[in-house]
Structure 1
Amino acid sequence: MPSRKKSLMFAFAFLTSICSFVIVCLVLATKNWVSSRITFTSGTANTTMFFTYGLFEGHWSTTVVHGIAIQETSFQVSDLLENGPVKSFNIAVVFLLVISLLSSFLSSGFTCYNAVSNPYQTFLGPIGAYTWNSISGICIFLTLILFAVNVEVNELSVQLADKVSAVSRPYGLSNFYGYSYWIMLLIALLNVATIIIVVFYQKERYSKRKEQERPMESAPKDGILF
């Protein structure tokens, strides 16, 4: 059985891991990743399109001239994307989040296991917690970059707008990232917190082991002979 201190520390690590898992699920399920405003001239009228979407679905509305016509419609992101860099980036983001989800789940399993037992296999101990949280954190970091690149460089919102209503050039584009995007920073912080907790446990364990070895090192040599 593990010591009380180990059980407590790994219980906290389990809590941060399970919170990370829940937030990744939330990020995948919500559609408030980005809100975009696209303005252009269509014929003789000025048109403004508003898009709010996530990885899978979203909604858009159109305002023509000074609010004369307004329309709001839901859409599936995958249905509006053609095969190409934009769709590939979107698939890559989903794939990275799924990897992060699995890593967070495995981290919660490993930390829970260490809270109630002392595993014999090295990888099932702190090394496993380090590995899964590192993988999750790296995937989240890459997700933040790839999604922003897809929106800003590949102009994901404009491609979606082209599919529902042809956007004439030139156009104005402004993007605002929602809570579904920024909350991923919390996932990364939770991964770091889990690693820090396990590091503290290993440091304390190392210090305790050194203290146990010290009496033997400082014992009189003549005493050791008998």
Structure 2
Amino acid sequence: MPSRTKILHFISSALVTSVSVGILGFAISTQWAKVEMQCAMEGSISLNGSAEIILGIFNGTLIRSSCPSFGNNDVFQVIPTLAEIGTTPLVLHILVVCLLVLCLVFSAGSILISLYNSLSNPYETYMGPVGVYTCSSISACVSLLVLILFVVNVSVTNIVNNLITVIVPGIPIELGEKSVQMMIGYYLVIPYMVLTVLAIVLIYMYQHAAYTHRREQERPTEDAPKEIMMY
């Protein structure tokens, strides 16, 4: 049976990781970015309208202000819409989705291993602290990669142009400069990453305390006189 200290640390690690999974699950279900572009009908002298896209992982909304028609809102599914074009934005967006799934899978693995360690005393293998370190480290690194890839896809590629072209087909539109604003779904990945690192810290604190305790128990034997140790 594990010690009370070990149970406390591993249960705390599992709880922290569970909270991080809940945060990431909510992040996936909400908006990640708002992109606004100036636009006008083809042949117009000036860009007198705007098209605003609120982008999530799976769903999005196109809000048009007099470009090409006033006050229209179009709800669309991101991946099927991008699949009609099949360019770099689609590949990057699918990669972001796959990485988010990996985050959830490895976080689930970290929770299971932490709970297993709170009930038993496995050896220093992938089912011990090493397993928690591995799963949580991969989750943290992958979530950082998600942040980078998503902002690159929204800011650098022509994902918004492609979406507008597909959602409003057959209408010639001239698109101007765009402004990008990241939203709550994107920023919630940061506390997920922080909590994942915290889960690693909790296990490290236990291992450090356990190592210190072992050293203190071994020290009297190491410091005993040689005459006593001979008997």
Q: 2:34 maps to what in 1?
A: 35
Once residues 91 and 40 of structure 2 are traced to their aligned partners in structure 1, the CA distance between those partners, rounded to angstroms, is: 30
1:148, distance to aligned residue in structure 2 (A): 0.7
Give the TM-score normalised by the residue count of structure 1.
Answer: 0.93
RMSD of aligned alpha carbons: 1.7
More deviation, 204-213/15-24: 15-24
SS in structure 1 opposite 2:72? strand
- Asked if residue 210 in structure 1 is aligned to residue 215 in structure 2, the reply is yes
1:104 aligned residue (104, 107, 123): 107
1:171, distance to aligned residue in structure 2 (A): 0.6
Q: Deviations over 1:64-116 (max 9, x none)?
A: 18xx8211121111222121211000110001000110000000111111112
8 A contact 2:79–2:94 mirrored in 1: no
Once residues 169 and 34 of structure 1 are traced to their aligned partners in structure 2, the CA distance between those partners, rounded to angstroms, is: 22
Once residues 93 and 115 of structure 1 are traced to their aligned partners in structure 2, the CA distance between those partners, rounded to angstroms, is: 33
- Which runs of structure 2 are paired with 1:40-51 in the superposition (5 Å)? 40-42=39-41, 43-44=43-44, 46-51=48-53
Once residues 207 and 102 of structure 1 are traced to their aligned partners in structure 2, the CA distance between those partners, rounded to angstroms, is: 33
Q: 1:72 maps to what in 2?
A: 73
- Which runs of structure 2 are paired with 1:1-226 in the superposition (5 Å)? 1-30=1-30, 32-42=31-41, 43-44=43-44, 46-64=48-66, 69-81=70-82, 82-120=85-123, 122-165=125-168, 168-169=173-174, 171-226=176-231
Give the TM-score normalised by the residue count of structure 2.
Answer: 0.91
How many pairs are equivalent?
223
1:167, distance to aligned residue in structure 2 (A): 6.5
Structure 1 runs (4+) greater than 4 angstroms displaced: none
Unaligned runs of 5+ in 2: none
8 A contact 1:39–1:46 mirrored in 2: yes
Once residues 170 and 7 of structure 1 are traced to their aligned partners in structure 2, the CA distance between those partners, rounded to angstroms, is: 59
8 A contact 1:161–1:167 mirrored in 2: no
Once residues 20 and 178 of structure 1 are traced to their aligned partners in structure 2, the CA distance between those partners, rounded to angstroms, is: 18
1:121, distance to aligned residue in structure 2 (A): 5.6
Once residues 158 and 207 of structure 1 are traced to their aligned partners in structure 2, the CA distance between those partners, rounded to angstroms, is: 59
1:170, distance to aligned residue in structure 2 (A): 5.0
1:120, distance to aligned residue in structure 2 (A): 3.3
Unaligned runs of 5+ in 1: none
Once residues 199 and 22 of structure 1 are traced to their aligned partners in structure 2, the CA distance between those partners, rounded to angstroms, is: 23
8 A contact 2:124–2:130 mirrored in 1: no
